Amino acid sequence: MEKSITKTCAGCKKEFLIIPQEKAFYEQKNLPFPSSCHECRKIRRQGLRNDRKLYQRNCDQCGISLETTYAKDSPYIIYCEKCYFDSVN
């Protein structure tokens, strides 16, 4: 059984845990582990998203659901990150 990782939040300096499921998620996506706790990340996310409305849409290429600033009725073709990179390479 894998253990959780204890990290110190870069924002509020409190300790937080990265549970094995989260750890696996970050490793799978090749992402660095977060440097701030859930609360700080939530606050930051809300701050960033405040002035931008996000819509739930599907990638026009592979159909995966994603969040975008383009509304459903906008004429733009929406690509997920993967299809976008596939299309430019």
Binding site for Zn ion (CB under 5 A): 9, 11-12, 36-37, 40, 59, 61-62, 80, 83
Any idea how long the chain is? 89
In whole angstroms, how close is the CB of 1 to Zn ion at the nearest point? 27
Report the residue number, 23 or 61, with the smaller CB distance to Zn ion: 61
Please give the Cα distance from 50 to 71 (Å, whole number): 16
Which H or E run includes 17? strand 15-18
Report the residue number, 61 or 68, with the smaller CB distance to Zn ion: 61
In whole angstroms, how close is the CB of 57 to Zn ion at the nearest point? 11
Number of C-beta neighbours around residue 80 at 10 A: 19
